[in-house]
Amino acid sequence: MNRASEEEPNEKRSGADRGAPEASPGDPRAGAPLPTRLYRRRWFIVLLFSSYSLCNSYQWIQYGIINNIFMKFYDVETFTIDWMSMIYMLTYIPLIFPVTWLLDKKGLRVIALAATALNCAGTWIKVASVRPDLFPVTFLGQFCCSLAQVFILGMPARTASVWFGSDEVSTACSIGVFGNQLGCAIGFLLPPILVPNVDDLDELAHHIRVMFYITAGVATFLFILVVFVFQERPPLPPTLAQATARCIPAEEYSYVASILRLLRNRPFVLLILTYGLNVGCYYAVGTLLNRMIISHYPNEEVNAGRIGLTIIVSGMVGSLICGLWLDRTKTYKQTTLAVYFMSLVGMIVYTATLDQGHLWVVFITAGSLGFFMTGYLPLGFEFAVELTYPESEGTSSGLLNCSAQVFGIIFTICQGKIIDAYGTLAGNIFLCVFLLIGTVMTGTRRKDGGNFCPAEGLIKSDLRRQKANQIAKEEVSEGRSVRPAGSRGGSDGIKKAFHRRPVRVPVELIWSLCLNVVICENPASAAAFRLRPQTGVTASLA
């Protein structure tokens, strides 16, 4: 009996492993099913991840939601405080590629340790920055926390795939996103309560210091917990698809080639754009919410935070419902389109009611906006994993988040300038236009005849991970040869269905990738992948 069954003999077995004789990693028997198992500890792992994600995301909006108070304390401009939120987006863009490479090379535990260590360091730097002349120090602390975010934001899908079964993976991903959103909710709620708008700078410094000490204490506790508790992966994989992915030899995997394959995957590239538009709008709304509310309802900083809380809490409910719905129906494309359209509707209604003078109406419309806009986050992650299997979940999630950060910075700066010049109505209409563009891209496709088909969309619904699990289950049920975990190869059917052909990748293209140059599918760029052998390095492209 293997180590996993010795440690946890009563734990749930998944897929073909239920009721089947267990095959040890070295078992040479032909036709032996790939051993898979679900471990109870998987729930603790995802909850621990969710907790340190919460602690980090709380700090994203910590300054912006009491923008006017920090402006007064540090004697800086509005745009400077806006950068305390936008720094989270800016650092993510260049660093996601090396962090994703590190994830593929070192695994989840190293990423978790780096995330919690940076987050802990950032919180203690902030504790030392509570003086009106130390704004650069508090910015340094926020910068460290933004670095930690790079190690967190794209991990829900990877954590779910490594630890959870095929019928739970979307729910687990939603829980990971749930923690991030709960942190944002607390970030909207607590700072206005802990730091009241008082005129005495000494009293204000005391309140800010208390807030920073609480954050530092929580971050330190979570760092210690990760050091002693967080595990890399379960002894046995949770699904047949994950078992096959484990069997791919390390020498056959190329990180650069993986990214290039993703950028040649047209449905995924379109998803990158539509995801960035939606989540970028969400980031802009969160960053500028205080300014929107205060402009129509003066001295309502606390209610501005509560409205932000309403957006996030309703969004967390939406995230969990979407995750459960996907696990039940597997309707990734249809659900994504429906939620995207309702995000547009929610933004229009919120825009129309913001300046009507009834704060309770704003609470309701903001809640409906958050339910769909935040509920879209786990949908994007899981749809991306389906479209890109067997590529690394961290890589696909990282590219989605990179797009979101780019659009988030652009939308936040542009909407802020529009609000300053023309008011909140014009700024929100600006976001509505881009949500409409994203909805159209998701929900219409030009057919050969030139007509638009509103149901199918530009993003093709190619559920590759579901197909892989189905192929593996069919092989097991029909008694065909399936290699046990630990052997080189994995499922023959999956390997055949998702075969990668080797080609040459020019070194110049790797440099272009580092500069975030996206190579579109056209004859000129496609020729770059077919250079003479002496001009490139060997990689594997789909």
pLDDT digits (tens, 9 = 90+) for 141-162: 999 999 999 999 878 878 888 8
* Of 446 and 109, the one with more pLDDT: 109
Q: Which of 289, 244, 258 is nearest to 97 (CA)?
A: 258
Rounded distance between C-alpha atoms, residue 415 and residue 219, angstroms: 32
The whole-number average pLDDT for the span 172-193 is 84
Residue type, 420: D
Q: Work out the pLDDT band at 464, boundaries 50, 70, 90.
A: low
> Which pLDDT score, from 0 to 100, does residue 467 have?
61
Distances (CA, A) of 499 to 139, 199, 226, 389: 47, 66, 37, 11
Residue type, 17: D
> Which spans in 254-392 are helix H?
255-263, 266-296, 301-329, 332-353, 359-388
Whole-structure pTM over 0.85, yes or no? no
The whole-number average pLDDT for the span 163-188 is 81
Distances (CA, A) of 236 to 8, 240, 242, 416: 12, 10, 10, 50
**CATH of the structural domain 41-446, one choice from 1.20.1250.20, 1.10.150.170, 1.10.760.10, 1.10.486.10:** 1.20.1250.20
Put residue 476 in one of left, alpha, beta given phi > 0 → left and psi -120 to 50 → alpha: alpha
Residue type, 461: S
Angle at 136 between CA 135 and CA 142, to 5 degrees: 90
Q: Work out the pLDDT band at 472, boundaries 50, 70, 90.
A: low
Residue type, 509: L
* Of 405 and 147, the one with more pLDDT: 147
| Residue 147 near residue 91 (C-beta atoms within 8 A) | yes
Percent of the chain exceeding pLDDT 70 equals: 72
- Is it the case that residue 411 has pLDDT exceeding 60? yes
Angle at 14 between CA 168 and CA 252, to 5 degrees: 85
- Is it the case that residue 5 has pLDDT exceeding 50? no
Q: Work out the pLDDT band at 493, boundaries 50, 70, 90.
A: low
β-sheet bridge partners, residue 491: 482
Q: How many CB atoms lie within 10 A of CB 504?
A: 18
Q: How many CB atoms lie within 10 A of CB 110?
A: 14
Helix (H, G, I), strand (E, B) or coil at 248: coil
Which residue spans within 409-500 are E strands per DSSP? 445-446, 452-453
The whole-number average pLDDT for the span 517-531 is 34
- Is it the case that residue 104 has pLDDT exceeding 80? no
β-sheet bridge partners, residue 540: 502
Listed in sequence order, the residues at least 6 apart from 269 whose beta carbon sits closer than 8 Å to its beta carbon are 262, 263, 518
* Of 211 and 37, the one with more pLDDT: 211
Q: At what angle do helices 359-388 and 393-422 cross, to 10 degrees?
A: 150
> Which pLDDT score, from 0 to 100, does residue 110 have?
92
Listed in sequence order, the residues at least 6 apart from 163 whose beta carbon sits closer than 8 Å to its beta carbon are 39, 42, 45, 46, 172, 233, 234, 238
Rounded distance between C-alpha atoms, residue 205 and residue 154, angstroms: 35
- Would the CA dihedral through 300, 305, 309, 311 be positive or negative? positive
The whole-number average pLDDT for the span 472-485 is 56
49-98 pLDDT per residue, tens: 999 999 999 998 889 888 889 999 999 988 888 889 889 888 988 888 88
Percent of the chain exceeding pLDDT 90 equals: 24
Question: What are the start and end residues of each CATH 1.20.1250.20 domain in the chain?
Answer: 41-446
The whole-number average pLDDT for the span 360-377 is 88
Rounded distance between C-alpha atoms, residue 203 and residue 174, angstroms: 40
Mean of per-residue pLDDT scores for the chain: 76
- Is it the case that residue 218 has pLDDT exceeding 90? yes
Query: How is residue 200 written in tokens?
Result: 């005495």
